[in-house]
A and B are shown apart, each in its own frame.
Chain A
Amino acid sequence: MLDFLKNPVLSIQEFFVLSGRTIKNLAVRPHYFNDTLMQMDIIGVGSLPIVLLCGFFSGVVMALQMSRALQTYGAVGQTGPIVAITLVRELGPVLTALVVAGRNSAGIASELGSMKVTEQIDAMRALGTDPILKLVKPRLIATCAMQPCLTAISDFVGMIGGYLIAFFLLRITTSEYWNGAYRTLEYDDVVQGLLKPFIFGVVISLVGCFYGLRTTGGTQGVGRATTQAVVVAIVWIFVLNAFITKIFVSI
Chain B
Amino acid sequence: MPEPVLRFEHVTVAFDGNPAIEDVSFEVGHGESRVILGAAGSGKTVILKTSLGLLRPVAGRVFLFGQDIANLPEKELFGLRARCGILFQEGALFDSLTIEENVAYPLENHRRENYPPDKVRSRVEEALRFVELAHTLEKFPSQLSGGMRRRVGIARANITEPALVLYDSPTAGLDPITANNIMSLIVKERDVRQATTIIVTQRFQDGKIMAKYRYNPATEDLEAASHNGDALVKGIQFLVMKQGRLVFEGDEGALERSADPYVSKFVMRD
Determine if chain A interacts with chain B: yes
- Please name all residues of chain B whose beta carbon is closer than 8 Å to the beta carbon of A27 when the two chains form the complex: none
How many residues of chain B have a CB within 8 Å of chain A?
Answer: 23
B40: shortest Cβ distance to chain A, in Å?
A: 15
* Chain B 72-95 near chain A by CB (<8 Å), digits 1 or 0: 001100100110101011101111
Cβ–Cβ < 8 Å partners of A126 in chain B? 52, 54, 81, 84, 86
A123 touches B94 (CB 8 A): yes
CB neighbours of A115 from chain B (8 A):
94
B19 contacts chain A at the CB level, 8 A cutoff? no
Known contacts: A120-B92, A125-B54. The answer to whether A130 contacts B78 by CB under 8 A is yes
Contact present for B106 and A128 (CB under 8 Å) = yes
Cβ–Cβ contact A125 & B74, under 8 A: yes
How many interface residues does chain A have, given as a range?
10 to 19
Which residues of chain A are within 8 angstroms of B93 by Cβ–Cβ distance?
120, 123
Q: Looking across the interface, which residue of chain B has its beta carbon closest to that of A28? A: B75
Q: How far is the CA of A112 from the CA of B86 in the complex (A)?
A: 21
- Shortest distance in angstroms between B122's beta carbon and chain A's nearest beta carbon? 20
- By the criterion CB–CB under 8 Å, are A127 and B74 in contact? no
What's the Cα separation between A118 and B94 when bound, in Å? 9
Cβ-defined contact, A122 with B49, below 8 A: yes
List the A residue with the shortest CB-CB distance to B74. Answer: A130
Binary B-proximity of A93-132 (CB < 8 A = 1, otherwise 0) = 0000000000000000000000100111011111111100
Given A128-B109, A129-B109, answer yes or no on A123-B92 (Cβ-Cβ < 8 Å).
yes
Q: Bound complex: CA of A16 vs CA of B86, how far in Å? A: 31
Residues of B within 8 A of A127 (CB): 81, 105-106, 109, 156
> Which residues of chain B in 85-132 are interfacial with respect to chain A, using CB atoms and an 8 Å cutoff?
86, 88-90, 92-95, 105-106, 108-110
| CB pair B75 A130 closer than 8 Å | yes
User: Are the CB atoms of B81 and A128 closer together than 8 Å?
Assistant: yes
* Contact assessment for A123 and B81 in the assembled complex, using a CB-CB cutoff below 8 Å: no
Given contacts A127-B105, A127-B109, contact A122 B92 (CB under 8 A): yes
State A107–B105 Cα separation when bound (angstroms): 24
Query: Please, which residue of chain B has its CB at the minimum distance from the CB of A120?
Result: B92
Chain A residue nearest to B77 in the complex (CB): A125
Which chain B residue shows the least CB distance to A127?
B106
**Contact flags A115-152 to B (C-beta < 8 A → 1, else 0):** 10011101111111110000000000000000000000
**A128-B82 contact given A122-B49, A122-B54, CB 8 Å threshold:** yes
User: What residues on A are CB-neighbors of B95 within 8 Å?
Assistant: 118, 120
Nearest to A130 among chain B residues (CB) is B74
Cα-based distance from A202 to B105 in the complex (angstroms)? 29
Q: Which B residues touch A119, using CB under 8 A? A: 88-90, 92
Q: Give the distance in Å from the alpha carbon of A146 to the alpha carbon of B109 in the complex.
A: 29
Tell me, in angstroms, the Cα distance from A123 to B88 when the chains sit together.
Answer: 7
Cβ–Cβ < 8 Å partners of A130 in chain B: 74-75, 78
Nearest CB of chain B from residue A73's CB, rounded to whole Å: 57
B81-A120 in contact (CB<8A) = no
Find out whether the CB atom of B106 lies under 8 angstroms from the CB atom of A118: no
Q: How far is the CA of A181 from the CA of B244 in the complex (A)?
A: 70
Task: Choose from B52, B81, B92 the contact partner of A118 (Cβ within 8 Å).
Answer: B92
* Residues of the A chain whose Cβ atoms lie less than 8 Å from the Cβ of B156: 127
When distances are taken between beta carbons in the complex, the residues of chain A under 8 Å from B81 are 125-128
Looking across the interface, which residue of chain B has its beta carbon closest to that of A38? B96
Complex CA gap A118/B52 in Å reads 18
Question: Given the interface contacts A127-B105, A128-B106, does A120 sit within 8 Å of B94 by beta carbon?
Answer: yes
Q: How far is the CA of A130 from the CA of B109 in the complex (A)?
A: 11
Kindly list chain A residues whose C-beta atoms are within 8 Å of the C-beta of B109: 127-129
Report the Cα distance A128→B49, complex, angstroms: 14
- Closest residue of chain A to B109, judged by CB? A128
Residue numbers in A under 8 Å from B106 (CB-CB):
127-128
B81, B92, B95, B156 interface centre (most CB from chain A within 10 Å): B92
Bound-state Cα–Cα, A107 to B156, Å: 28
Q: Which residues of A contact B84 (CB under 8 A)?
A: 126
Q: A120-B93, A123-B93, A127-B109 are in contact. List 8 more A-B contacts (CB 8 A).
A: A119-B90, A120-B92, A122-B49, A122-B88, A127-B81, A127-B156, A128-B82, A128-B109
Can you list 5 A-B contacts with CB-CB less than 8 angstroms, sorted by A residue number?
A125-B81, A127-B81, A127-B106, A129-B105, A130-B78
Q: Which 3 A-B pairs have the closest CB atoms?
A: A128-B109, A123-B92, A119-B92
